[in-house]
Chain A
Amino acid sequence: SQQGEEDPQALSIQEGENATMNCSYKTSINNLQWYRQNSGRGLVHLILIRSNEREKHSGRLRVTLDTSKKSSSLLITASRAADTASYFCATDDSSYKLIFGSGTRLLVRP
């Protein structure tokens, strides 16, 4: 089964810096989504990019998708301490379910 695998597993940056997280997957997808999870809490949908799109922006978020390499990246610009969370990519394919990556734990130091 396909999986999203992310790197780095953990990322520590200073407030104001940009954070980049990468995700790789194995099979064909309809779209790829990024979610955020604060410690012990639920998953919050951040952004969705369709398989025919290459880049998408939402506020301080920028997502890219390279279907030839089966990879995606999430960039958070001008990070804030409140961005501290785990970030997961998830692929949505024709089987109508999400498959999640292992996640990146982001720590933004004030």
Chain B
Amino acid sequence: EPEVTQTPSHQVTQMGQEVILRCVPISNHLYFYWYRQILGQKVEFLVSFYNNEISEKSEIFDDQFSVERPDGSNFTLKIRSTKLEDSAMYFCAQRGRDTSNYGYTFGSGTRLTVV
């Protein structure tokens, strides 16, 4: 079963610091996503990425957030100046070509703690 790998699994950072969360996607999947889940709450859509461009972003995804595929394989989420409320689990996800029959594949997540 192909996997989406995320690193680090847990990151603690000082408020105001920049963090980069990394995702190693499954090859030949087309759509990439970042979701977040604040502890005990629902999973929220942040951004979708297709053909090396952002295709859609949510209200949460403000100017402090950015995504890129710096080397054509890894997929990163950067938070420029972290706030306490950015503490959450961040999930990378992918979707393949056959969207009628297969769900999305999620990574195991990065737990971000901002102190």
Give the interface size class of chain B. 20 to 34
Check A42–B108 contact: CB distance below 8 A.
yes
| Total number of residue pairs linking A and B with CB closer than 8 Å | 65
Residues of B within 8 A of A31 (CB): 99-100
Given contacts A30-B99, A45-B104, A45-B105, contact A97 B56 (CB under 8 A): yes
Residues of A within 8 A of B108 (CB): 41-42
Given contacts A42-B91, A42-B109, A92-B99, contact A98 B104 (CB under 8 A): yes
Please pick, from B35, B55, B102, the residue contacting A48 in the complex, using a CB distance under 8 A: B102
On chain A, the number of residues with a Cβ less than 8 Å from chain B's Cβ atoms is 26
Interface SS majority for chain A: strand
Check A45–B55 contact: CB distance below 8 A.
no
Interface presence of B44 (CB below 8 A): yes
Binding site for B on A (CB under 8 A): 30-31, 33, 35, 40-48, 50, 88, 90, 92, 95-103
Binding site for A on B (CB under 8 A): 31, 33, 35, 41-45, 48, 50, 55-56, 89, 91, 93, 95, 99-109, 111
- What are 13 residue pairs bridging A and B, where the CB atoms are less than 8 Å apart in the complex? A31-B100, A42-B91, A42-B107, A42-B109, A43-B106, A45-B103, A45-B105, A50-B101, A97-B48, A97-B56, A98-B93, A98-B104, A100-B35
